[in-house]
Amino acid sequence: MISKTSKVGIIGAGNVGADVANALVLLGRCVRVVLFDRTLSKAEGQVWDIEDSIPLVKEMEIIPSNQYEDLADSDIIIVTAGVQPKLGQTRLDTLSDNAEIIRSTIKELDRVAPNSIVLIISNPVDVLTRIA
């Protein structure tokens, strides 16, 4: 039997982050999901969509946030934040911008959630994982 994780934080409320949050809710794999985005209204909109599409989320709490402190005590934090490649760019072309996002994100996570397991989904994932 696999036990439920207590709290999962997701950084980035874009397409990937929202899909990860939705999947966690559908699978019922945790008790609480914090969907973090620097733009609170974006996180709120994604959370409302998830809550509206799944009427039986009473067993799970989904929290929109733009405060790193809300990620404290997360068992797992999934980082999906990053810039998307523009037309004609490769994932490697986004490295400079995404590296800075990862550096600042990890610095905040070290402050508020130093014992959390961190998963990186941002691209280019291999290089960003090394930077983290």
pLDDT per position as a tens digit, 4-28? 679 999 999 999 999 999 999 888 8
Q: Could you give the CA distance from residue 107 to residue 94 in angstroms, rounded to a whole number?
A: 20
Q: How far apart are CA 11 and CA 86, in angstroms?
A: 21
Q: Which amino acid is at 129?
A: T
Residue type, 76: I
Instruction: Report d(CA 23, CA 131) in Å as an integer.
Output: 27
Return the ∠ at Cα 76 (arms to 75 and 82), rounded to 5°: 150
What's the mean pLDDT in 90-111? 93
- What integer pLDDT is reported at residue 80 of this predicted model? 96
CATH class of 5-131: alpha beta
Q: pLDDT per residue over 56-74, tens digit each?
A: 666 788 999 999 999 999 9
* Residue 93 pLDDT class (50, 70, 90 cuts): confident
Q: What is the pLDDT of residue 57?
A: 60
Average pLDDT of the residues of the chain: 91
Q: Pick the more confident residue, 91 or 37.
A: 37
